[in-house]
Amino acid sequence: MSDLEARGHDEWERGASKRLKALRQASRHSQSYSQARRAQLDGFQLQLDRIEAEKTALYKEVSRTDQLIDQQMVRMDTTNKTLVDAIRN
């Protein structure tokens, strides 16, 4: 192998080595980015589950309130004068 061929081969190896290093680094970056995204998505899923549970509880409360309104139920005023007046009658 001539000196020129050896230099060309060395340059090719360095170039291949640099490309391989860049690919490995990109792969590590992609993995860490993917992990961060996965963690973020998990956090969003937890928030969504919590909000769905709150929404369900709120719908139950609203439904119960609507039912009481339909039955013309009222909250009794428990202040002393009103309570005494209600008992006297």
User: For residue 67, what pLDDT is reported?
Assistant: 82
In the chain, the largest separation of any two C-alpha atoms, in whole Å, equals 120
pTM above 0.85, yes or no: no
User: For residue 35, what pLDDT is reported?
Assistant: 87
User: For residue 9, what pLDDT is reported?
Assistant: 64
- 10-residue block means of pLDDT along the chain (89 residues)? 60 81 85 87 94 91 83 70 72
User: For residue 59, what pLDDT is reported?
Assistant: 86
Distance CA 40, CA 3 (A): 55
CB crowding 61-77: b at 16 or more within 10 Å, else e: eeeeeeeeeeeeeeeee
